Amino acid sequence: MKSIVIEAAGEMAVTHDRPMPELKPNEVLVKIEYVGFCGSDLNTFRGLNPMVKLPVIPGHEIGGTIASIGSDVPEGLFTEGMHVTVNPYTNCGKCSSCRNGRVNACRNNATLGVQRNGAMCEYIAMPWEKIIPAPGISTRDCALIEPMSVGFHAVDRAQVSDNDTVMVIGCGMIGMGAIVRASLRGATVIAVDLDDEKLDVATAMGAAYTINTSKDDAHTLIQEITDGDGPSVVIEAVGAPATYIQAFDEVAFAGRVVCIGYAKKEVPLRTQLFVQKELNIYGSRNALPADFRAVIRYMSTGKCPVERLISMIVEPDTALNAMKTWVADPGKVFRILVKF
Say yes or no to pLDDT of 280 above 90.
Answer: yes
Helices (H) and strands (E) in the chain, counts: 12, 15
pLDDT digits (tens, 9 = 90+) for 198-218: 999 999 999 999 999 999 999
Checking if the pLDDT of 48 tops 90, the result is no
Q: What is the mean pLDDT of residues 318-332?
A: 92
136's torsion region: left (phi>0), alpha (psi -120 to 50) or beta?
Answer: left
Residue-wise pLDDT for 26-37, tens only, equals 999 999 999 999
Residue 259 confidence class, pLDDT cut points 50, 70, 90: very high
Written as one letter, the residue type at 125 is: A
DSSP β-bridge partners for residue 189 = 166
Q: How many CA atoms lie within 13 A of 73 on its CB side?
A: 24
Burial 258-269 (b: 16+ CB within 10 A, else e): bbbbbeeeeeee
CA–CA gap between residue 23 and residue 50 (Å, rounded): 31
pLDDT at position 264, please? 81
- What is the model's pTM? 0.96
What is the mean pLDDT of the segment spanning 151-160?
A: 98
pLDDT bracket for residue 51 (50, 70, 90): confident
E-strand ranges in the chain read 3-8, 11-15, 27-37, 61-69, 83-86, 123-127, 131-133, 165-169, 188-193, 209-212, 233-236, 256-259, 280-283, 310-314, 335-339
Number of other CB atoms surrounding residue 317 within 10 Å: 10
Give the number of other Cβ atoms within 10 Å of residue 225's Cβ: 18
321-335: b (≥16 Cβ within 10 Å) or e? ebbebbeeeeeebbb
* pLDDT tens figures, 303-314: 999 999 999 999
Percent of the chain beyond pLDDT 90?
A: 95
**What is the separation of C-alpha 121 from the centre of its chain, rounded to a whole number of angstroms?**
20
Q: What proportion of the chain, given as a percentage, has pLDDT over 70?
A: 100
Q: Measuring CA to CA, which residue among 120, 113, 117 is closest to residue 14?
A: 120
**What's the pLDDT at 50?**
85
Summarised one tens digit per residue, pLDDT across range 73-117 is 999 999 999 999 999 999 999 999 999 999 999 999 999 999 999
C-alpha 62/C-alpha 37 separation (Å) is 10
The residue among 291, 299, 251, 305 whose CA lies nearest residue 274 is 251
Has residue 330 got a pLDDT over 90?
Answer: no
Q: Taking phi first (over 0 means left), then psi (-120 to 50 degrees means alpha), and beta for anything else, what does residue 191 get?
A: beta
**Mind spelling out the 3-state secondary structure of 196-219?**
HHHHHHHHHHCCCEEEECCCCCHH
Cα dihedral 73, 75, 78, 80 sign: positive
Cβ count near 18 (within 10 Å)? 15
